[in-house]
Amino acid sequence: MAQLFLSLDELPLHCARAILKECAEHIHGIKLLDLILRYGVEDLRLKLFPGIFSNGEILPVFADLKVLDTKLAVRSTIQAMVDYGIEYVTVHPDPMVVETACRIAEKSSTKIIVVTVLTTDTAIGQANWQEHDRRVAERADIALRYDAYGVTCAVSDLSELRKRFAAKLRYVTPGIRERLDDPHEHKAPADPEKAVREGSDMLVVGRPIREPRVGVAPADAARSIRLEMQKGERH
């Protein structure tokens, strides 16, 4: 079953906590970047999660770091994520980075996600699609070669990736928008039903929940997306 991760990027901590508390029952985890860089993992968890669930539950964290550095720095970064129990970490598709990250994380619960393309990339709508497909498949092949958990990709890439790699990888799709939503900077947006129908395992949604249409509460926006996801599951 596909999971919904809420992106809490670009928010002050108090706003992120308020939205998380409102939407927690409708999501499976949260995606973070700038809040991790600002507060650090340990301090952020202490500030973000207490009181969200009555049983003290902490949602899985997707650290969208897109790690790219020297081998030593990659080892250190991924080891820190492992030590803090971060569930998902994104890395650049450089073979050395992917291999190093996967080796550090292989005996832990931390899962490595390889970035194949940024859905904000202006080239998505302009590039030669054969070249685009080749590049995405090449990066997914690197992920598979080193036993990464999965890849991030556009929903429009899912059909070809599923044909080539089937369920050997998990597929994470940003740029999710309901039909009436502003696509913002995303060049290949797709609605939740289509994303799930095409084979997405994890949908990452930010502004459509954090900044929903007038008259719609964040919790209602999250609930609506979950309902659309369920429609996709039935196809």
* Active site (catalytic) residues: 66
- Report the chain's terminal Cα–Cα distance, integer Å: 12
Q: Which residue do the tokens 């770091």 mark?
A: 65
Of 145, 144, 202, the C-alpha closest to 174 is 202
Which tokens in the block code for residue 112?
A: 């490595």
Contact 113, 148 (CB under 8 A): yes
Contacts with 56 (C-beta within 8 Å, 6 or more apart), sequence order: none
Contacts with 99 (C-beta within 8 Å, 6 or more apart), sequence order: 146
Torsion of CA 129, 184, 179, 30, to 10 degrees: 100
